[in-house]
Structure 1
Amino acid sequence: MTPAPFERVRSRYVTLADANIDTDQIIPARFLTTTERSGLGAHAFADWRGRPDSPLNDARAIGAEVLVAGDNFGCGSSREHAPWALVDLGFRAVVSTSFADIFRQNAHKNGLLTVTVNEAFHGALLDQPWGEIQIDLCGRTIMGPGEISATFAIDDFAADCLVHGTDELGYLLSFEDAITRFEEECPA
């Protein structure tokens, strides 16, 4: 399954403010019995959803495409199933003050944008749960409730892949015709 192209998203956001949410909390190991990307959203945050006070159980979470998470999101084991589960659950982006490096790389490869913001902007989002957020990947800007805004950084290659809905292999395959021509023209 190729990632959906991403340029911008405007959506309500769900807040999970806890720091150090690891990949085993995002998708518990007991659900890692598949290499299929679809269906994992049903098990995303399975143990959190078991708590009656979980924001993920709130009706306002339905249709939210942005997750605002605490610091160091996606730490722990390097399971690609974590971004698969988040995307299958309907999230297009995760906003935090920091991400585990491997999670961020896996997220971008699978069509999930990670947006790192400063603590002041993050705090403003946490103060207004269920607010609306707008993220413009091409402009590298994020706007939250009350017109708060910030810029964010992302590797140009990762951004290009997200915008075009591709991963590294898809990027390479986009040059297939040029590679074939080169091979045909190149003397053996």
Structure 2
Amino acid sequence: MKPFTKYEGTIVPIMNDNIDTDQLIPKQYLKSIEKTGFGDYVFDEWRYNEDGTDNMNFNLNKPEYKKGTILITGDNFGCGSSREHAAWALQDYGFHVIVAGGYSGIFYMNWLNNGHLPITLSEKERLELAALRGDEKVIVDLENNKLSANGKEYTFELEETWKQRLLKGLDSIGLTLEYENEIRAFEEKRK
């Protein structure tokens, strides 16, 4: 994983509550265990018309949001069945940060485990961010737990263990390898 310290991007607002994993990536696309190749299917049923053309009323298809990498959304994001493919699909599309009112626990952990930042903000704060133009820059400063946009600053919390893992770019194996010397010493004592 790459270290996550500061990130600059633009927003895509999809302000629905209770967006579940089947809405994020429908089950018929879960035919691979690779982490790539799912971006075209994210929000599939909302993003495309029945004939396969783009639904231009959906924000991912609007020109002003086409390059957005910070998803602003509602409460209880990622609820539903446990499927890491949902995190992979959002990642493959290009999202790096999600700002929601709350998350399903499993999705929250999947998003973190894939090296991305889930931010929780109030409805008022999310509505302010959702009102930004699609070309307005948003800066996420994980070291200082700040999100800045349009001259305003928003503070967010993240458990310190996860913050340090993201800052250092450590997945579970990388975290274990940080203790390699201690593990070797322990193993030597057991011989």
TM over 0.5: yes
2:22 to 24, 46, 62: 24
1:6 matches 2:4? yes
1:171 to 168, 171, 175: 175
Q: Distance between the aligned counterparts of 2:123 and 2:82, measured in 1?
A: 25
Contact 1:13/1:67, CA 8 A, preserved across alignment? yes
Q: Distance between the aligned counterparts of 1:96 and 1:125, measured in 2?
A: 11
Deviates more, 1:29-38 or 1:56-65: 56-65
Q: Distance between the aligned counterparts of 1:99 and 1:129, measured in 2?
A: 25
Deviates more, 1:106-115 or 1:124-133: 124-133
Q: Deviations over 1:63-110 (max 9, x none)?
A: 322111112111111211111111111111000111111111111001
Give the aligned partner of residue 80 of structure 1: 84
Deviation at 1:173, TM superposition (A): 2.4
Q: Deviations over 1:24-58 (max 9, x none)?
A: 11111111111100111121111121022111112
- List gaps (5 residues or longer) in structure 1: none
Q: Deviations over 1:123-150 (max 9, x none)?
A: 21123342431111111111122x1222
Give the RMSD, CA atoms, in angstroms. Answer: 1.6
**Alignment identity in percent?**
35
Number of residues of Structure 1 aligned to a counterpart in Structure 2: 184
Contact 1:7/1:138, CA 8 A, preserved across alignment? yes
Give the aligned partner of residue 52 of structure 2: none
Q: Distance between the aligned counterparts of 1:187 and 1:133, measured in 2?
A: 52
Q: Distance between the aligned counterparts of 1:49 and 1:37, measured in 2?
A: 21
Give the aligned partner of residue 150 of structure 1: 154
Deviation at 1:169, TM superposition (A): 2.4
Deviates more, 1:91-100 or 1:3-12: 3-12
1:108 matches 2:112? yes
Give secondary structure in 2 for the equivalent of 1:161.
Answer: helix
Give the aligned partner of residue 139 of structure 1: 144
Contact 1:19/1:72, CA 8 A, preserved across alignment? yes
Q: Distance between the aligned counterparts of 1:120 and 1:151, measured in 2?
A: 13
Q: Distance between the aligned counterparts of 1:167 and 1:179, measured in 2?
A: 18
Deviates more, 1:135-144 or 1:158-167: 158-167
Contact 2:4/2:169, CA 8 A, preserved across alignment? yes
1:65 matches 2:69? yes
Deviation at 1:112, TM superposition (A): 1.6
Deviation at 1:111, TM superposition (A): 1.2
The residue identity in structure 1 corresponding to 2:10 is R
- List gaps (5 residues or longer) in structure 2: 49-54
Contact 1:7/1:137, CA 8 A, preserved across alignment? yes
Contact 1:5/1:164, CA 8 A, preserved across alignment? yes
